[in-house]
Structure 1
Amino acid sequence: MSEEEEVKYDGIKEEEEEEEVKYGISFQEYKNKIRIGDTGTDEFWTKTIEKTLLVLKKRSLNFSIYRVPSKLRNINEDAYSPRMVSIGPFHQSRKDLLKMEEHKWRYMLFLLARTKDRAKLKEALKECVKAINGLKQEVTGCYAEDLNNVTWNELREIVLVDGCFIVELIIRYSEKNIGQNPDEVINGVWMIPTLKHDLALLENQIPFFVLQKLFKIIERSIGEDFRFPCSLTEYALLFFFPESNSKQVQALNSKKVKKVLKSGSLNRARHLLEILHIFYLPSSLDINPRVHHTWGFKHGAAKLLEAGIGIEKVATSDLLEITFSGSEGVIKLPPLSIDETMETVFRNLIAFEQCSVGVTHHITSYAMLIKSLIASTQDMELLQNKQIIEKSASSGEDVPTFFKRMSREVVLKEFCFAELCDDVDKYSRSWLHCRRIKAYSGVRCRRYITALRNDYFSNPWTIISFVAAVVLLVLTLLQTMYAMLSYY
């Protein structure tokens, strides 16, 4: 809490009335504890209020790890719940996740064994334990929910084991030694996709500074001059965004990773999910969030095309880099591949934006924008034909329904594409753009030609009828002209 935010109370002397804010005890429990033996006098009542305010002042406001609100969880429970591994304290009690505990401990051993020496291994373990103990206030202050059933001794072990597991996992995955050792976690066909799902969950996080601390201890323990080829944040991005079979996608991802790492924006990431959030933010930072009367385009893709506004795919790794060229009258969108993993990541990023203070709603705004663009099946077909949206077979529901469900029960404080939508709306209402008139006329002509083909040339009988009608019309006109010429 900053000095500006901190409230000073003259009647409270911390050195005399200090109450130890123990981990795992809720604020309500503190209130009940303080009020035991209430005498009912004004003096005692004032004293209990002062103590309560002191306790409240000591409790952290630097939350970064939250429970997903029930209104979001009820829409799709699976998108917010771990399937294989529990990270952090929220899901430790689930029995169906206990099978991974042995693997987590084994991965901690693998990480410590990188020191190549038993004495160094023991020293590294002691240093890791000491480091976690020294981060008690920082770690406990990250969780927005009181964990009444978890003691600090239990939490520090959870954080240590889970932290070592994550560090070893992302390093091992990037070393490309898959298939070269008997490791069923790395070599399992379905385990890595499931782990990516679990490590991207809002409720399945531990503080990133813990991972950095463990990473540096192991790096230093291996050797004074030793350095891992990648930073921890780069290892994390490589885990979630591995090399693609497509050289173009591979080049774009690599370029974006380097750009984000160079910018230093990842330094403020508080956990793995926030690393993904920062990665998805537009590089240009030209998107200005502001309050907007509508959350998206006023019309879907098909109607925008009819109004003379073009839609094109642009090759970029910035998913949110959506632009509108007024001179060309074209909305340019990066390609979007919709699958189960994408749904999980986006739902949890949206939940993170909904819960966090001071985090921009870029992902929520993007979901709203795409939802407005694909209001119908016709819109979806148009975007698929332009290769802007690709739907995986693993995604069960249709795309319009998918985005409608994703944006349900969501509150948007500021719409990040307000300026873009305003520019498109102004362009659609103006007849001063030659390109728009040309595009509008072209769309109308194609519609009339399509209608003519469907109504009069759909089968041989309609073609014969149409030709006969035309011939009859021509003969009638000729007869009329002949009669008029004969009269004069």
Structure 2
Amino acid sequence: MQSSKNERQRQTLEIDIKALEIDIKEMMIKSRRPPFPCCIYRVSPVLRDVNRKAYTPRTVSIGPLHHNNKNLKGMQPVKFQYLEQFLKRATKTAMLNELPHWGDPMGFVTSLDTDLQIGKHFSCLERFLGLLKSTEGDIWNSYAEDDLNHITLEELLKIILVDSAFIIELFLRFHFNPSRLTPFEIASIRMDLLLIENQVPFFVLENLYKEAFDSYPNIYPTILELSCEFFEPYNHQKMQIQTMKHFTDLLRTFHLPITTDGEHGSDCGTPENESKNREPDDSNEHLKSATQLHAAGVQFNVSSSKCTLDISFIKPKLAIPCLHIYDDTEVIFRNVMVLEIYQYPNKTLICDYVLLMDYLINTSEDAELLVEKKIITSRLGSNQQVASLFNRLGRNIVKGINDKKLKGLVQALNAYYDTPWHTTKATFWLKYFSTPWKAASTTAASLLLLLTLIQTVLTGIAL
């Protein structure tokens, strides 16, 4: 009896181990990185806790990550209105081969008023859904978010279609100028479209747009051109963009150096093809603040370059492009920095720039110096707010500059500061010649001393 009982326990143990083995194998398979690289991320709690509002849309949700946000439900009817108009526009565009019955093609396809009926004329809806279905795996894998497991594929494709149609129709109305949204609403939506969690993959927009309008390039610009037009306020360098992953990626690209052929300098790398994913070594990295460097003789100058990263140091002049700071500057930097941390771990150019500015600006006096030199223009209200902005931006971000050029610039500035003669010369200048009054009093005192010396010599000669 005892042996029979032991045998049943052994069999039960074997069965449990076998089931556990199967579960572990399934977990390993599910955790594999998909072949299509993800590019849309949920912000980690460590970064989100510093400023939650910076990553949360305020007007409209795009994609699945904020779809259930109750505060954004008011835009759902507007999205479906834009979807209907997008389908009507696509249907009317397909009917252009019936001209001249329709008259002016431009006025026909851009009119928001139409008598087309959804049930009768919207066969294009089936084509668009089929197009999304054919790339469903790539769409799903674009989101690096385990919580998508509670969303069915049908729900995901519905969200993607409605939101993509909303974006396309928004851009077309912005281009053709019949938008019924106010400038404030457009600015608010534009900001929401730049958030890293509030994205659809750009290839989805491109595929739907080409399917609908690619046959008539004389009427419709490309979706890439429409995107750059809508986000033109951030394209200070007037870049000619060739590709993007989504709009946060586009925003980052706007800040990168332009190559000799006029295109942006991004290598569009992904975490998968980054060869050396090393953390920057900040063990020996330091940089004095702007006021300390200025006291050592570094001359701060505003650069004429429109590229944020185009910073140079030719002794003793440090040239930095002008940075315009608005209420949403923190939101812009934070979302691009998160994208870099996840997508471009060895190309953290914007993170490096923010860390450099964090080194330079520790106090309101540092900010005041850069404002005085026109390196920073601010609408925040005070120099202390500017200093606090950069001190917050650097929080919980990996310390240490990755970019070789900026790292070399930091080393050159440190070497300049550590040279005793520079500090002595700068201290002497600040003490005696930094203002017209100091210069005048110093000159007068020197002249008086010289005259006294001459008088003493002449008196000695006379004796």
Whether the TM-score (by the shorter chain) exceeds 0.5 is yes
Answer yes or no: is 1:136 the counterpart of 2:168: no
Code of the aligned partner of 1:166: I
Code of the aligned partner of 1:448: Y
Pick one of 320, 331, 340 that aligns with 1:344: 331
Shift of 1:375: 2.1
Query: Equivalents in 2 of 1:172, 1:286: separation in Å?
Result: 30
Shift of 1:164: 0.8
1:91-130 equivalence runs, <5 A: 91-115=66-90, 116=92, 117=95, 118=116, 122-130=122-130
Q: Partner residue of 2:161?
A: 160
Give the % identical residues. Answer: 26
Q: Partner residue of 1:240?
A: 231
Pick one of 256, 278, 281 that aligns with 2:253: 278
Say if 1:38 and 1:45, in contact at 8 Å, map to a contact too.
Answer: no
Shift of 1:329: 2.8
Q: Partner residue of 1:205?
A: 199
Q: Partner residue of 2:3?
A: none
Query: Equivalents in 1 of 2:84, 2:284: separation in Å?
Result: 50
Shift of 1:405: 0.5
1:40-119 equivalence runs, <5 A: 40=15, 42-57=17-32, 62-115=37-90, 116=92, 117=95, 118=116
| Count of residue pairs brought into register by the alignment | 407
Say if 2:357 and 2:390, in contact at 8 Å, map to a contact too.
Answer: yes
Question: Which deviates more from structure 2 when the two are superposed, residues 346-355 or residues 118-127?
Answer: 118-127
**Residues 357 and 427 of structure 1: is their aligned pair in 2 closer, same or farther, counting only changes over 3 Å?**
closer
Q: Partner residue of 1:33?
A: none
Say if 1:336 and 1:389, in contact at 8 Å, map to a contact too.
Answer: yes
Code of the aligned partner of 1:399: V
Query: Equivalents in 2 of 1:397, 1:485: separation in Å?
Result: 61
Question: Which deviates more from structure 2 when the two are superposed, residues 291-300 or residues 232-241?
Answer: 291-300
Query: Equivalents in 1 of 2:205, 2:229: separation in Å?
Result: 16
Shift of 1:389: 0.3
Question: Which deviates more from structure 2 when the two are superposed, residues 78-87 or residues 311-320?
Answer: 311-320
Deviations 1:125-155 (A, max 9, x none): 2211111111211111111122243221111
Say if 2:433 and 2:439, in contact at 8 Å, map to a contact too.
Answer: no
SS at match of 1:190: helix
Pick one of 375, 378, 392 that aligns with 1:405: 392
Say if 2:355 and 2:399, in contact at 8 Å, map to a contact too.
Answer: no
1:373-392 equivalence runs, <5 A: 373-392=360-379
Pick one of 420, 424, 427 that aligns with 2:416: 427
Deviations 1:332-374 (A, max 9, x none): 1111001122221111111222333656211111111011112
Q: Partner residue of 1:303?
A: 292
SS at match of 2:68: coil
Query: Equivalents in 2 of 1:193, 1:139: separation in Å?
Result: 27
Deviations 1:301-360 (A, max 9, x none): 2222222222211122211111222xx432211110011222211111112223336562
Question: Which deviates more from structure 2 when the two are superposed, residues 354-363 or residues 115-124?
Answer: 115-124
Deviations 1:201-242 (A, max 9, x none): 11111111111111111213xxx3434553322322221224
SS at match of 2:324: strand
Pick one of 343, 347, 350 that aligns with 1:360: 347
- After TM superposition, the score normalised by the length of structure 1 is 0.72
Query: Equivalents in 2 of 1:174, 1:443: separation in Å?
Result: 57
Shift of 1:422: 1.4
Query: Equivalents in 2 of 1:362, 1:342: separation in Å?
Result: 17
Say if 1:297 and 1:369, in contact at 8 Å, map to a contact too.
Answer: no
Code of the aligned partner of 2:362: A
**Residues 394 and 206 of structure 1: is their aligned pair in 2 closer, same or farther, counting only changes over 3 Å?**
farther
Query: Equivalents in 1 of 2:284, 2:408: separation in Å?
Result: 11
Deviations 1:47-76 (A, max 9, x none): 444444444448567222111112222222
Question: Which deviates more from structure 2 when the two are superposed, residues 342-351 or residues 285-294?
Answer: 285-294
Unaligned runs of 5+ in 2: 1-11, 96-115, 260-264, 268-275
Q: Partner residue of 1:217?
A: 211
Pick one of 293, 316, 321 that aligns with 1:334: 321
Q: Partner residue of 1:191?
A: 185
Shift of 1:81: 0.7
**Residues 135 and 445 of structure 1: is their aligned pair in 2 closer, same or farther, counting only changes over 3 Å?**
same
Shift of 1:449: 3.8
Shift of 1:107: 1.5
Shift of 1:281: 2.0
Query: Equivalents in 2 of 1:50, 1:78: separation in Å?
Result: 39
Say if 2:193 and 2:199, in contact at 8 Å, map to a contact too.
Answer: yes
Query: Equivalents in 1 of 2:378, 2:434: separation in Å?
Result: 28
Query: Equivalents in 2 of 1:227, 1:294: separation in Å?
Result: 57
